Amino acid sequence: MKIAVLGAGSWGTALSNVISDNNHRVFLWARRKELAEEINQIKENREYLPGVKINPSIFVTHDMEYAVKDSDIIILATPSQALRFIVKDAKKYILKKDAIIVSASKGIENDSLLRMSEVIKEEVPHISQIAVISGPSHAEEVVRRFPTAVVVASKDKKVLKILQDVFINNYFRVYRNSDIIGVELGGALKNVIAICSGVSEGLGYGDNTRAALITRGIIEIMRLGKKLGAKSSTFSGLSGVGDVIVTCNSMHSRNRRAGIDIGKGKEVEDVIKSTNMVIEGIYTTKAAKRLSDLYEVEMPITQEAYKVLFEGKDPKKAVEDLMSRSGKIEIY
Protein backbone atom coordinates (compact mmCIF):
# COMPACT_ATOMS: atom_id res chain seq x y z
CA MET A 1 0.00 0.00 0.00
CA LYS A 2 0.94 3.62 -0.41
CA ILE A 3 0.44 5.33 2.93
CA ALA A 4 0.74 9.05 3.62
CA VAL A 5 1.52 10.27 7.12
CA LEU A 6 0.82 13.98 7.53
CA GLY A 7 2.88 15.51 10.31
CA ALA A 8 6.59 14.92 10.83
CA GLY A 9 6.60 15.45 14.56
CA SER A 10 7.53 12.69 16.97
CA TRP A 11 4.32 10.66 16.63
CA GLY A 12 4.07 10.93 12.85
CA THR A 13 7.71 9.86 12.54
CA ALA A 14 7.26 6.91 14.90
CA LEU A 15 4.12 5.68 13.11
CA SER A 16 5.89 5.99 9.76
CA ASN A 17 8.65 3.77 11.12
CA VAL A 18 6.16 1.11 12.25
CA ILE A 19 4.37 1.03 8.89
CA SER A 20 7.62 1.05 6.94
CA ASP A 21 8.86 -1.90 9.01
CA ASN A 22 5.77 -3.71 7.72
CA ASN A 23 6.91 -3.20 4.11
CA HIS A 24 4.45 -0.49 3.07
CA ARG A 25 5.46 2.55 0.99
CA VAL A 26 5.44 5.46 3.42
CA PHE A 27 5.40 9.13 2.46
CA LEU A 28 5.88 11.37 5.50
CA TRP A 29 4.76 14.96 4.96
CA ALA A 30 6.51 17.76 6.84
CA ARG A 31 5.11 21.28 7.05
CA ARG A 32 8.61 22.79 6.82
CA LYS A 33 10.70 22.08 3.74
CA GLU A 34 13.99 22.27 5.64
CA LEU A 35 12.83 19.61 8.12
CA ALA A 36 11.80 17.27 5.29
CA GLU A 37 15.17 17.71 3.57
CA GLU A 38 17.13 17.11 6.77
CA ILE A 39 15.26 13.91 7.69
CA ASN A 40 15.66 12.59 4.15
CA GLN A 41 19.38 13.30 4.22
CA ILE A 42 20.35 11.90 7.63
CA LYS A 43 17.41 9.49 8.21
CA GLU A 44 16.87 10.90 11.68
CA ASN A 45 14.35 13.41 13.02
CA ARG A 46 16.82 15.31 15.19
CA GLU A 47 14.29 17.97 16.09
CA TYR A 48 11.69 15.64 17.59
CA LEU A 49 13.35 12.23 18.05
CA PRO A 50 17.08 12.84 18.34
CA GLY A 51 19.47 9.92 18.38
CA VAL A 52 17.26 7.37 16.63
CA LYS A 53 17.65 6.39 12.99
CA ILE A 54 14.42 5.77 11.08
CA ASN A 55 13.76 3.26 8.33
CA PRO A 56 15.67 4.43 5.22
CA SER A 57 12.74 3.52 2.94
CA ILE A 58 10.58 6.32 4.41
CA PHE A 59 10.38 9.23 1.97
CA VAL A 60 9.88 12.63 3.60
CA THR A 61 8.41 15.42 1.53
CA HIS A 62 7.10 18.97 1.83
CA ASP A 63 4.89 18.42 -1.22
CA MET A 64 1.35 17.66 -0.03
CA GLU A 65 0.17 16.45 -3.44
CA TYR A 66 3.11 14.08 -3.80
CA ALA A 67 2.44 12.59 -0.37
CA VAL A 68 -1.35 12.25 -0.57
CA LYS A 69 -2.21 11.56 -4.22
CA ASP A 70 -3.09 7.90 -4.87
CA SER A 71 -2.56 6.98 -1.21
CA ASP A 72 -4.62 4.07 0.09
CA ILE A 73 -4.40 5.34 3.67
CA ILE A 74 -3.87 8.90 4.95
CA ILE A 75 -2.80 9.22 8.58
CA LEU A 76 -3.13 12.59 10.29
CA ALA A 77 -0.52 13.01 13.02
CA THR A 78 -0.79 16.77 13.49
CA PRO A 79 -1.63 18.88 16.56
CA SER A 80 -5.38 18.73 17.08
CA GLN A 81 -5.96 22.47 16.64
CA ALA A 82 -4.18 22.36 13.26
CA LEU A 83 -5.86 19.22 11.94
CA ARG A 84 -8.72 20.99 10.14
CA PHE A 85 -6.30 23.23 8.24
CA ILE A 86 -4.15 20.28 7.19
CA VAL A 87 -7.20 18.32 5.99
CA LYS A 88 -8.36 21.36 4.00
CA ASP A 89 -5.00 21.39 2.21
CA ALA A 90 -4.95 17.64 1.64
CA LYS A 91 -8.52 16.91 0.58
CA LYS A 92 -8.18 18.01 -3.06
CA TYR A 93 -5.59 15.26 -3.49
CA ILE A 94 -7.66 12.51 -1.82
CA LEU A 95 -9.11 11.05 -5.01
CA LYS A 96 -9.62 7.41 -4.12
CA LYS A 97 -13.20 6.89 -2.98
CA ASP A 98 -12.13 3.88 -0.90
CA ALA A 99 -9.23 5.68 0.80
CA ILE A 100 -9.03 5.34 4.58
CA ILE A 101 -8.33 8.42 6.71
CA VAL A 102 -6.91 7.81 10.18
CA SER A 103 -6.66 10.37 12.96
CA ALA A 104 -3.62 9.89 15.17
CA SER A 105 -4.20 13.26 16.86
CA LYS A 106 -5.34 13.34 20.49
CA GLY A 107 -7.49 16.39 21.12
CA ILE A 108 -10.80 18.20 20.77
CA GLU A 109 -11.21 21.19 18.46
CA ASN A 110 -11.70 24.20 20.72
CA ASP A 111 -14.00 26.29 18.53
CA SER A 112 -16.41 23.54 17.47
CA LEU A 113 -15.91 21.04 20.34
CA LEU A 114 -15.71 18.34 17.68
CA ARG A 115 -13.61 15.20 17.92
CA MET A 116 -10.93 14.77 15.27
CA SER A 117 -12.90 12.17 13.29
CA GLU A 118 -15.85 14.59 13.19
CA VAL A 119 -13.60 17.35 11.86
CA ILE A 120 -12.36 15.00 9.13
CA LYS A 121 -15.91 14.03 8.22
CA GLU A 122 -16.89 17.69 7.90
CA GLU A 123 -13.96 18.50 5.63
CA VAL A 124 -13.91 15.31 3.52
CA PRO A 125 -17.57 14.24 3.34
CA HIS A 126 -16.98 12.01 0.30
CA ILE A 127 -14.78 9.66 2.36
CA SER A 128 -16.74 7.27 4.56
CA GLN A 129 -13.85 5.17 5.88
CA ILE A 130 -12.59 7.10 8.89
CA ALA A 131 -10.74 5.67 11.87
CA VAL A 132 -8.62 6.70 14.87
CA ILE A 133 -5.57 5.21 16.56
CA SER A 134 -4.84 5.79 20.24
CA GLY A 135 -3.40 4.20 23.37
CA PRO A 136 -0.35 4.37 25.65
CA SER A 137 2.33 4.90 23.04
CA HIS A 138 5.13 7.40 23.59
CA ALA A 139 6.80 8.03 20.25
CA GLU A 140 10.22 7.96 21.94
CA GLU A 141 9.66 4.28 22.79
CA VAL A 142 7.78 3.21 19.65
CA VAL A 143 10.58 4.46 17.40
CA ARG A 144 13.01 2.34 19.45
CA ARG A 145 10.73 -0.65 18.86
CA PHE A 146 9.82 -1.15 22.53
CA PRO A 147 6.78 -3.47 22.93
CA THR A 148 3.68 -1.28 22.69
CA ALA A 149 -0.08 -1.92 22.51
CA VAL A 150 -2.60 0.48 20.94
CA VAL A 151 -6.18 0.44 19.72
CA VAL A 152 -7.71 1.36 16.35
CA ALA A 153 -11.34 2.41 16.30
CA SER A 154 -13.87 2.68 13.50
CA LYS A 155 -17.52 1.88 12.89
CA ASP A 156 -16.47 -0.15 9.83
CA LYS A 157 -15.28 -3.70 10.65
CA LYS A 158 -13.49 -4.02 7.31
CA VAL A 159 -11.51 -0.84 7.97
CA LEU A 160 -10.55 -2.09 11.42
CA LYS A 161 -9.13 -5.32 10.01
CA ILE A 162 -7.20 -3.51 7.28
CA LEU A 163 -5.64 -1.10 9.77
CA GLN A 164 -4.84 -3.82 12.27
CA ASP A 165 -2.93 -5.67 9.56
CA VAL A 166 -1.15 -2.49 8.41
CA PHE A 167 0.16 -1.58 11.86
CA ILE A 168 0.60 -4.82 13.81
CA ASN A 169 4.02 -6.45 14.15
CA ASN A 170 6.25 -8.07 16.76
CA TYR A 171 6.70 -4.86 18.79
CA PHE A 172 3.52 -2.92 17.95
CA ARG A 173 0.37 -4.78 18.98
CA VAL A 174 -2.97 -3.44 17.72
CA TYR A 175 -6.45 -4.13 19.07
CA ARG A 176 -9.77 -3.31 17.37
CA ASN A 177 -12.64 -1.31 18.89
CA SER A 178 -15.90 -0.10 17.33
CA ASP A 179 -16.34 2.69 19.90
CA ILE A 180 -14.72 5.58 18.06
CA ILE A 181 -16.23 8.15 20.45
CA GLY A 182 -14.78 6.50 23.54
CA VAL A 183 -11.35 5.89 22.02
CA GLU A 184 -11.06 9.51 20.88
CA LEU A 185 -12.28 11.00 24.14
CA GLY A 186 -10.00 8.77 26.20
CA GLY A 187 -7.00 9.78 24.12
CA ALA A 188 -7.80 13.47 24.39
CA LEU A 189 -8.99 13.84 27.98
CA LYS A 190 -6.15 11.86 29.57
CA ASN A 191 -3.89 14.82 28.77
CA VAL A 192 -5.90 16.99 31.16
CA ILE A 193 -5.31 14.51 33.98
CA ALA A 194 -1.62 14.24 33.02
CA ILE A 195 -1.19 17.99 33.49
CA CYS A 196 -2.86 17.73 36.90
CA SER A 197 -0.60 14.83 37.84
CA GLY A 198 2.41 16.95 36.94
CA VAL A 199 1.09 19.91 38.93
CA SER A 200 0.77 17.73 42.03
CA GLU A 201 4.36 16.59 41.60
CA GLY A 202 5.52 20.16 41.08
CA LEU A 203 3.81 21.11 44.34
CA GLY A 204 5.80 18.40 46.11
CA TYR A 205 2.97 15.93 46.66
CA GLY A 206 3.53 12.19 46.39
CA ASP A 207 2.13 8.89 45.19
CA ASN A 208 -1.13 9.13 47.15
CA THR A 209 -2.05 12.37 45.39
CA ARG A 210 -1.16 11.07 41.94
CA ALA A 211 -3.15 7.86 42.50
CA ALA A 212 -6.18 9.88 43.59
CA LEU A 213 -5.93 12.13 40.54
CA ILE A 214 -5.57 9.18 38.16
CA THR A 215 -8.51 7.28 39.65
CA ARG A 216 -10.90 10.20 39.97
CA GLY A 217 -9.72 11.58 36.62
CA ILE A 218 -10.74 8.36 34.89
CA ILE A 219 -14.16 8.67 36.54
CA GLU A 220 -14.52 12.16 35.05
CA ILE A 221 -13.52 10.91 31.60
CA MET A 222 -16.08 8.10 31.87
CA ARG A 223 -18.84 10.49 32.96
CA LEU A 224 -18.34 12.80 30.01
CA GLY A 225 -17.78 9.92 27.60
CA LYS A 226 -21.02 8.22 28.60
CA LYS A 227 -22.91 11.50 28.17
CA LEU A 228 -21.49 11.88 24.66
CA GLY A 229 -22.38 8.33 23.60
CA ALA A 230 -19.25 6.33 24.40
CA LYS A 231 -19.20 2.88 26.00
CA SER A 232 -18.03 2.88 29.62
CA SER A 233 -16.00 -0.30 28.99
CA THR A 234 -13.77 1.53 26.49
CA PHE A 235 -12.28 3.62 29.28
CA SER A 236 -11.08 0.46 31.03
CA GLY A 237 -8.92 -0.27 27.99
CA LEU A 238 -5.83 1.07 26.26
CA SER A 239 -7.26 4.46 25.33
CA GLY A 240 -8.63 4.96 28.84
CA VAL A 241 -6.80 3.52 31.82
CA GLY A 242 -3.76 2.61 29.71
CA ASP A 243 -3.23 6.08 28.30
CA VAL A 244 -3.90 7.79 31.64
CA ILE A 245 -1.34 5.59 33.41
CA VAL A 246 1.44 6.26 30.92
CA THR A 247 0.90 10.02 30.59
CA CYS A 248 0.56 10.60 34.33
CA ASN A 249 3.72 8.68 35.22
CA SER A 250 6.23 9.12 32.39
CA MET A 251 8.69 11.93 31.82
CA HIS A 252 8.16 11.34 28.09
CA SER A 253 4.77 13.03 28.62
CA ARG A 254 5.02 16.70 27.69
CA ASN A 255 1.69 17.26 29.48
CA ARG A 256 3.05 15.88 32.74
CA ARG A 257 6.27 17.89 32.34
CA ALA A 258 4.24 21.04 31.71
CA GLY A 259 2.22 20.37 34.85
CA ILE A 260 5.38 19.95 36.92
CA ASP A 261 6.63 23.37 35.79
CA ILE A 262 3.25 24.98 36.52
CA GLY A 263 3.18 23.37 39.96
CA LYS A 264 6.61 24.84 40.64
CA GLY A 265 5.29 28.31 39.86
CA LYS A 266 6.15 28.80 36.18
CA GLU A 267 3.67 30.87 34.17
CA VAL A 268 1.54 28.91 31.71
CA GLU A 269 2.59 31.07 28.75
CA ASP A 270 6.25 30.52 29.57
CA VAL A 271 5.66 26.76 29.74
CA ILE A 272 4.05 26.81 26.28
CA LYS A 273 6.97 28.79 24.84
CA SER A 274 9.57 26.50 26.42
CA THR A 275 9.01 23.61 23.97
CA ASN A 276 8.77 23.15 20.21
CA MET A 277 6.00 20.57 20.78
CA VAL A 278 2.32 21.24 21.33
CA ILE A 279 1.05 20.64 24.88
CA GLU A 280 -2.31 19.21 23.85
CA GLY A 281 -3.69 19.02 27.38
CA ILE A 282 -3.80 22.80 27.76
CA TYR A 283 -6.11 23.18 24.78
CA THR A 284 -8.11 20.07 25.71
CA THR A 285 -8.72 21.45 29.21
CA LYS A 286 -10.53 24.42 27.69
CA ALA A 287 -12.67 22.16 25.49
CA ALA A 288 -13.36 19.70 28.31
CA LYS A 289 -14.48 22.48 30.63
CA ARG A 290 -16.88 23.78 27.99
CA LEU A 291 -18.27 20.28 27.41
CA SER A 292 -18.64 19.77 31.17
CA ASP A 293 -20.67 22.99 31.42
CA LEU A 294 -22.67 22.35 28.25
CA TYR A 295 -23.74 18.82 29.21
CA GLU A 296 -23.86 19.46 32.97
CA VAL A 297 -21.34 16.72 33.74
CA GLU A 298 -19.61 16.85 37.12
CA MET A 299 -15.86 17.18 36.43
CA PRO A 300 -14.27 18.93 39.44
CA ILE A 301 -10.65 18.10 38.53
CA THR A 302 -11.15 19.48 35.03
CA GLN A 303 -12.85 22.58 36.36
CA GLU A 304 -9.97 23.32 38.74
CA ALA A 305 -7.42 22.63 35.99
CA TYR A 306 -9.16 25.21 33.85
CA LYS A 307 -8.99 27.80 36.64
CA VAL A 308 -5.27 27.19 37.07
CA LEU A 309 -4.45 27.27 33.35
CA PHE A 310 -6.74 30.09 32.20
CA GLU A 311 -7.76 32.12 35.25
CA GLY A 312 -4.48 32.24 37.14
CA LYS A 313 -5.65 30.31 40.18
CA ASP A 314 -2.92 29.17 42.55
CA PRO A 315 -2.40 25.41 42.01
CA LYS A 316 -2.12 24.69 45.73
CA LYS A 317 -5.45 26.44 46.36
CA ALA A 318 -7.00 24.37 43.55
CA VAL A 319 -5.90 21.15 45.30
CA GLU A 320 -7.22 22.43 48.64
CA ASP A 321 -10.59 23.25 47.08
CA LEU A 322 -10.80 19.78 45.52
CA MET A 323 -10.04 18.13 48.85
CA SER A 324 -12.49 20.35 50.75
CA ARG A 325 -15.58 19.46 48.75
CA SER A 326 -18.44 17.75 50.54
CA GLY A 327 -18.28 13.95 50.92
CA LYS A 328 -19.40 11.85 47.94
CA ILE A 329 -20.33 8.28 47.11
CA GLU A 330 -17.40 6.70 45.24
CA ILE A 331 -19.23 4.91 42.40
CA TYR A 332 -22.82 5.58 41.31
Q: What pLDDT is recorded for position 244?
A: 97
User: Residue 277's pLDDT band (boundaries 50, 70, 90)?
Assistant: confident
User: Residue 302's pLDDT band (boundaries 50, 70, 90)?
Assistant: very high
* DSSP line for 63-96: -HHHHHTT-SEEEE-S-GGGHHHHHHHHGGG---
Q: What pLDDT is recorded for position 331?
A: 77
What is the rounded average pLDDT of the residues 264-271? Answer: 96
Q: What pLDDT is recorded for position 237?
A: 97
Q: What pLDDT is recorded for position 310?
A: 97
Q: What pLDDT is recorded for position 305?
A: 98
What is the rounded average pLDDT of the residues 172-194? Answer: 98
Q: What pLDDT is recorded for position 276?
A: 85
Instruction: Please say if 190 is a catalytic residue.
Output: yes
Q: How far apart are CA 314 and CA 330, in angstroms?
A: 27
* b/e code 291-310 from CB counts within 10 Å (16+ = b): bbeeeebebebbbbbbbbbe
Q: What pLDDT is recorded for position 224?
A: 98
Q: What is the pTM of this model?
A: 0.95
Q: What pLDDT is recorded for position 134?
A: 98
User: Residue 58's pLDDT band (boundaries 50, 70, 90)?
Assistant: very high
Catalytic residue among 91, 106, 190, 307: 190
Question: Is the pLDDT assigned to residue 84 strictly greater than 90?
Answer: yes
What is the rounded average pLDDT of the residues 263-282? Answer: 94
User: Residue 9's pLDDT band (boundaries 50, 70, 90)?
Assistant: very high
What is the rounded average pLDDT of the residues 188-193? Answer: 97
What is the rounded average pLDDT of the residues 41-54? Answer: 96
Please state, in angstroms and as integers, the Cα–Cα distance from residue 255 to each residue in 88, 135, 183, 251, 289, following that order: 28, 15, 19, 9, 17
Question: Is the pLDDT assigned to residue 226 strictly greater than 90?
Answer: yes
